[in-house]
Amino acid sequence: MSCTDKTATVTDEASGGGATTIFAVHPDIIQTHILTCLDGRALASVASTCSQLHALSDHEPLWENICHSTWPSTNSPRVRHVISTFPCASRSFFSDSFPSFAAREGSNIDRAPELISAVDIFHRRRVVLSRVVETETESGWFRCSPFRIDVLDQKEAVATAMEYPLSDGACEILGEDLRLSWIVVNPKGKRAVNVSSGTAVSMERHWLSGEVKVRFATVVDGGERGTPAEVALCSVTVTFGNEMQVREACLQMEDMDGMFLNGRESLGILKRALEGKRGTLLKDGKEEGRSRYLEFMNRKMERKEKKQRDERRLDMLCLALAVLSFAAFSTLFLF
């Protein structure tokens, strides 16, 4: 039964003293005073209930405000313009960027002329850093050099109000309080994907320099089977100085051999992520992201140990051949 029929029934009951529903409220009030109080997950849930609420929820300013409040970097003129070209504008952008994704297998390298990174770092829901970085992808230098996107200039540092963690326990609490969003946008393909795990997957405090390195990572599978890039890691490293200023935030791609990939290989991985199937908006993928990272690290370790075993076997084989050769030559000379 549609919401209209249901509303009519309930309204008739209401005239006889029964209960009423939200549809007794004027649609303008629902749209401007109720739906504006919802976050993206709640609004997506409301939009899936019935055709009337879907129509009221499909209002561009609602999704535009949600995108800006969720990711302050999307408020930049360049990103706003790119979002406006998406099929359903801000709603399409949110649907691409908020949920988790499953990479598409066997995708060819995208000839996108540029990528846009919308980066936001939060500490206890307060914005620590919000930047937009544009990266050209057509030059030979980009495609052949190790892939790396830096948010800050080499000597730039952004001050924060965070306290320096003096113990391992404080480091663990800091990791739980930090959130990072790194949305990669393909303006040509009108797609976006969030390659950050959201929460930190590892933290390291250097004993000498005092720097704190926080890592956020997402696993992207779907590569050629049997190769080191069958499963790749989108790794974002954020470095804080000893006064907790942000000194570095960069995105890199790593394969199962621990090698950093070049721009050409990384574009293929990003395209698999951009074109991959999105998860549900209502699913919290924080623990899933961390478990997938740990699984990747375990596979990486197993691959390294297998490589070492194969090298030891090869060394033993070479040694055995050398001994046999020496014995054969000795036999010839002695007899």
Note whether 44 and 187 are same-domain residues.
no
Q: Pick the range with the lowest mean pLDDT from 141-145, 228-232, 289-293.
A: 289-293
Q: Are 78 and 116 in contact (CB under 8 A)?
A: yes
For range 90-116, the mean pLDDT: 77
Contact 22, 46 (CB under 8 A): no
Cα within 13 Å of Cα(267), Cβ side: 21
Burial 303-316 (b: 16+ CB within 10 A, else e): beeeeeeeeeeeee
pLDDT of residue 306: 80
CB neighbour class for 266 (10 Å; exposed up to 12, middle 13-18, buried from 19): buried
Note whether 281 and 218 are same-domain residues.
yes
On whether both 190 and 111 belong to a single domain, the answer is: yes
Establish if 195 belongs to a structural domain: yes
Model confidence band, residue 290 (pLDDT cutoffs 50, 70, 90): confident
Q: Are 35 and 46 in contact (CB under 8 A)?
A: yes
Our count of domains for the chain comes to 2
Does residue 260 contact residue 253 with C-beta atoms inside 8 Å?
Answer: yes
Residue 11 included in any domain: no
Return the pLDDT at 10.
38
Residues 6+ apart with CB under 8 A from 25: 34
Which tokens hold the place of 201? 């997957």
My answer on whether 61 and 120 are in the same domain is no
Q: Please check whether residue 47 is in contact with residue 58, taking contact to mean a CB–CB distance below 8 angstroms.
A: yes
Are 32 and 161 contained in the same domain? no
Quick check: is 89 in a domain? no
25: left (phi over 0), alpha (psi -120 to 50) or beta: beta
Flag whether pLDDT at 195 surpasses 60: yes
Phi, psi of 25 (to 5 degrees): -85, 145
| 13 confidence band (pLDDT: 50, 70, 90) | very low
Is 318 buried (19+), middle (13-18) or exposed (0-12) by CB count in 10 A? exposed
Q: Please, which pLDDT band fits residue 282 given cuts at 50, 70 and 90?
A: very low
Structural domain of residue 275, as residue ranges? 99-299
Asked, for residue 307, whether it belongs to a domain, the answer is: no
Strand order in the sheet with 212-220: 148-150, 246-254, 232-240, 212-220, 202-205
Give the DSSP H or E segment for 128: strand 126-136
pLDDT (average), residues 122-131: 95
Establish if 145 belongs to a structural domain: yes
The answer to whether residue 313 sits within a structural domain is no
Q: Residue for token digits 């829901």?
A: 125
Which pLDDT does position 103 carry in this prediction?
67
- Whether residue 50 is found in the same domain as residue 163: no
- Return mean pLDDT, the chain: 84
pLDDT at 186 over 90: yes
pLDDT in tens, 221-270: 877 787 888 889 999 999 999 899 999 999 999 998 889 999 999 999 99
Residue ranges with strand state E in 187-231: 191-194, 202-205, 212-220
Same domain, yes or no: 55 and 116: no
- Nearest to residue 6, comparing CAs of 38, 41, 64, 50? 50
List the structure tokens of 153: 């200039």
pLDDT value of residue 29: 84
Q: Per the structure block, which two tokens stand in for 148?
A: 């790396």
Residues 51 and 137 in one domain: no
Residue 84 lies in a domain: no
Which one is predicted more confidently, 142 or 45? 142
Same domain, 60 and 153: no
Are 62 and 115 part of one and the same domain?
A: no
Mean pLDDT across 9-23: 52
Whether residue 38 has pLDDT greater than 50 = yes
Same domain, yes or no, for 106 and 57? Answer: no
Both 197 and 58 in one domain: the answer is: no
Interval 96-111 mean pLDDT: 68
